[in-house]
Structure 1
Amino acid sequence: MLSEVLNAVLIALLLADLATWVYALYCLGRSVSLIKSSRALNVYEDLREGVTAVVPVRNSANTLRHLLKALLSQERVRLDEVVVVDDGSTDGTPEVVLDFMNMYPGVVKYERVERVPEGWTPKVYACYRGYLRSSGGLLLFIDADVALKGSCLRPLLGRAAALGGIASYAPRFSCRTLSCKVAEAVLTTVSHAFTGFDKVLNPSSRLAWFYGCCWAVP
């Protein structure tokens, strides 16, 4: 009798597991299909407010130059200012910023953090200092190792302005090692399967995605 009960329980668990993965595959397909849908890429043309980009950095000389070039050459977006907040870099980061300050006087600005107050984490405090230095109505917070293409910031800024709230991109990660590629594939698959765009873009759902590497807020 006990063995029959255990067999029944195991069968029920296997069926539940199978149903879970069937549902996950269904949701995965729906989520991936929405990546380039009109709902995911709504472009709002009216950007009346000024835009300030805040870039928190630490020892980012190798990537910062590429980011600043991409920021300042964005199509259909004019940045009023780019505030680079340096959290104690010891490499050539300040020199990179100085080069761009000379090329874009009054637009590129430099803020150095000498001490992080107790209770703050370095990046969060750097973002806060950038916010205090900003004058634009729309704020873009972006990491120094983010690679931008074309006019990709326009939809992000437009959506944040239209919604009156935070909007962030789900980034495409660049992995060079096998372990990174495997981990990224697994995490992305699970994310789309159980918390994908089919839920994030559903007005009746309270679920939201947020990535801290590139986000905007009015």
Structure 2
Amino acid sequence: MMTNLFSIFDPASSIQSSSNWSSTIIIMLMMTPMFWLIPSRQFYFISLIINKIFYEIKTLLGPISAPGSAIMFIALLMMIMFNNFMGLFPYIFTSTSHLVCSMTLSLPLWLSFMVYGWFNFYNHMLAHLVPQSTPSVLMSFMVIIETVSNIIRPLTLAVRLSANMIAGHLLMTLLGNQTASAHLFTLYLLLGTQIILLVLESAVALIQSYVFAVLSSLYSSESSF
């Protein structure tokens, strides 16, 4: 384990094993009782949110999207969101703050969209490289820009998710390290700031999972028709 400030983002708990990654599958143990126990109010609340997001993603994908594609993005959103929330608990590693995890999610998605689009909608993918109403002089330049922007999409998706999770956790760690030597008034001020940051981090955990799923669905819709 690293001994500096960034040790909270080190996935290795020891030299022999790395049990911190097990936090990624803890949520599966928490969600499965929903499907065989008597549904609770929390289950109905989660189902209502999922249905709202489902219809929104279905609209973004378009009318000719593949059956079940919206469910895939809903599952992606739920997995990222719960992993983000798990990182707010003490002594639990936030897997989504590591580029290994976020790139594992974004790169295969982007690659599958590109392969499917270029093999099935070749002319449509070429048309995307030149935006509408582009002057003839700038067409070749716009092709380069659009190509670069398409190539870096998985990196931007992964870095956006990881950077936002790291930033909040790092700030909370910095403030938490100051409580040991703080005076009484400063301690109350730090505790109040920590509570505000915890609320903001909860919002970030939800927003970043939503942004990741929506952007992935938009990239999918661009290569589908």
In proportion to residue count, which structure has more helix?
2
1 or 2, which has the higher strand percentage? 1
TM-score (norm 1): 0.28
TM-score under structure 2 length normalisation: 0.27
